[in-house]
Chains A and B, each alone.
Chain A
Amino acid sequence: MRALLLRDLRLALRAGGGFGLGLAFFLIVIVLVPFSVGPAAELLGRIAPGVLWLGALLACLLSLDRLLAVDWEDGALDLLATSPLPLEGVLAIKAVAHWITTGLPLVVAAPVFGVLLNLASPGYGVLVLSLLLGTPALSMIGAFGAALTVGIKRGGLLLSLLVLPLYVPILIFGAEAARRGAEGLDPTTPLLMLAGITGVVLALMPFAAGAVLRVNLR
């Protein structure tokens, strides 16, 4: 398991691995938003939590179709399926590696990008906390979607369509927590809901993903 995690991280960091793709996309979205909605600082500050969450979610979505496709194309997925590792564990590790290379950089960079959008000062801590709670679920649901669509050529569109509805609750509670934080309200309730969703996703999704991948490998 550890070997698989280390291999995936190493592959992501080497040339062509796609590390930083999500982060760059996130940066582009956040930089372009002031140009599209105008320079009104007060308006930007008001929409900042929602835009930051939406940007993070889309950045996460961007790299999902490579999550299993590369291993499928070069045959490594078949070999992993015949290895002693349980397929559920393989998918959980893949999701963890995806989170470390995509979600975690977004969490770390979000406060900096918050400055670009004039996010109100009490909001930073809650924004980081909500992203930290929510992004692991994004990666795990993404691994499930990737397992569903593996083997389909150009399956990225189908993957997005399948995964986006499952992302909606995370987006609602995550953005709500960030908004409350920015307005100085108590964000405990949406944060707890977010933590609950992530907990359920992390507990159940590896098994769902393992089951669909087993069907897809036939």
Chain B
Amino acid sequence: MELTVTDLAVGRGGVPVLAGVSFALAAGEVLVLRGPNGAGKTTLLRCIAGLQEPMAGQIAGAEDRIAYAAHADGLKSALTVAENLAFWAAVFGQSGIDQAMTAFDLHDLQDRRAGQLSAGQKRRLGLARLVVTDRPVWVLDEPTVSLDAASVALFADAVRAHLAAGGAALIATHIDLGLDAGVLDVAPFRARVDAVRSSDEAFL
């Protein structure tokens, strides 16, 4: 069980952002991505999650094993908390949502519409989705935005439980989660914009 990224180059809108990124993530490990805003953390994570093609390099061990959580939680405001979770559980072929509800302390909210939740509660529901996916590699983009200290602790516990069960996590975050994590600063991998010829240059 290992996610291996080799010499990866990613771009946004055809402009290369990061180049030469390599790392390996074994079972039970967390890797925290750091870097200033606009450094390309989100682009790198989207690429690893399979939402966009890498410009160069390989990603091994990502196919159908990644649970991705982005800035948006993908919640339906007209559905209740339990319905939202049950939907994602069904999509990923799982049935129980109890464990996820407990992990993120959502039992008291289960019959509330997602549209009536506070920003932090929505975030907790969005993160609870990771538990019901039962996928080994969590790829998380700023998971602690709008969470209070207690919820951040809940989240860190959930990550620890996931690691103990043989999972792995790749997290872009600016805060210290109190996890025993490796750190990858993406700033040194910034791509030179003129390093790759723009794709339509030949037609101009």
User: Chain B residues near A7 (CB, 8 Å)?
Assistant: 76, 79, 83, 87
Majority-rule SS of A interface residues: helix
Asked if A217 and B72 sit within 8 Å, CB to CB, the answer is no
Measured between beta carbons, the chain A residues less than 8 angstroms from B72 are 73-76, 78
User: A153 an interface residue at 8 Å Cβ cutoff?
Assistant: no
Once bound together, how far apart are the Cα atoms of A102 and B70, in whole Å?
A: 32
Report A-chain residues with C-beta under 8 Å of the C-beta of B52: 217-218
A161 within 8 A of B: no
A85 to chain B, nearest CB (A): 6
Closest B residue to A2 using CB positions: B90
Q: Contact at A84–B64, with CB atoms within 8 Å?
A: yes
Q: Are A75 and B91 in contact (CB under 8 A)?
A: no
Query: Within 8 Å CB of B53, what residues of A?
Result: 218
| Assembly CA distance A80 to B66 (angstroms) | 12
- Mask, B69-102, CB within 8 Å of A = 1, is 1111111111100010011101111000000000
Residues on A with beta carbons closer than 8 Å to the beta carbon of B50: 81-82
Cα-based distance from A218 to B64 in the complex (angstroms): 18
Give the interface SS of chain B, mostly helix, strand, loop or mixed.
loop
Whether, in the assembled complex, A158 has its beta carbon less than 8 Å from a beta carbon of chain B, the answer is no
CB–CB A11/B78 < 8 A: yes
A218 surroundings in chain B (CB, below 8 A)? 51-53
Residues of A contacting B49 with CB < 8 Å?
82
Q: Give bound CA distance, A77 to B68, whole Å.
A: 12
CA distance A73 to B74 in the complex (A): 8
Bound-state CA distance A17–B115 (Å) is 13
Q: Which residues of B contact A75 (CB under 8 A)?
A: 70-74
Partner of A80, one of B77, B79, B91, B93: B91
Is A76 in contact with B76, judged by CB distance below 8 angstroms? yes
Residues of B within 8 A of A76 (CB): 72, 74-76
Q: Chain A nearest CB: distance from B126 CB in Å?
A: 9
**Do A16 and B87 touch across chains, with their CB atoms under 8 A apart?**
no
A4 on the B face (CB < 8 A): yes
A85→B91 CA distance, assembly (Å):
7
Residue of A nearest to B115 (CB): A16
- Beyond A3-B91, A85-B91, whether A78 also contacts B51 by CB under 8 A is yes
Q: Contacts A11-B79, A14-B78, A78-B68 known; A3 to B51 CB distance under 8 Å?
A: no
Say yes or no: B79 contacts A10, CB within 8 Å.
yes
Asked whether, in the complex, the Cβ of A79 is within 8 Å of the Cβ of B68, the reply is: yes
Q: Is the CB of A217 within 8 A of B51?
A: yes
A15 at the B interface (CB under 8 A) = yes
CB proximity of A159 to chain B, nearest CB, Å: 22
Task: List, in ascending order, chain A residues with CB within 8 A of B88's CB.
Answer: 79, 83
Q: In the complex, how many angstroms separate the beta carbon of A6 from the nearest chain B beta carbon?
A: 8
Which residues of A lie under 8 Å from residue B83 when comparing CB positions? 7, 10
Scan residues 44-86 of chain A and give those whose CB is less than 8 A from a CB of chain B: 71, 73-85
Q: Mark A74-102, 1 if CB is under 8 A from B, else 0.
A: 11111111111100000000000000000
Which of A4, A16, A77 has a CB less than 8 Å from the CB of B91? A4
* Docked pose: A170 CA to B193 CA in angstroms: 48
The interface residues of chain A lying within 8 Å CB-to-CB of B91 are: 3-4, 80, 83-85
Nearest chain B residue, comparing its CB with the CB of A76: B74
Give the complex CA separation of A77 and B76 in angstroms. Answer: 12
Residues of A bordering B, CB below 8 Å: 2-4, 7, 10-11, 14-17, 71, 73-85, 217-218
Known: A78-B46, A83-B91, A218-B53. 5 other contacts (CB 8 A): A75-B71, A75-B74, A76-B75, A79-B88, A82-B51
**What are 10 A-to-B residue pairs whose CB atoms are below 8 Å?**
A3-B87, A3-B91, A7-B76, A7-B83, A11-B76, A74-B76, A74-B77, A82-B49, A83-B91, A83-B92
Which 9 pairs across A and B sit closest by C-beta, in order of nearness? A75-B72, A3-B90, A76-B74, A218-B52, A14-B78, A75-B74, A79-B74, A82-B68, A7-B87
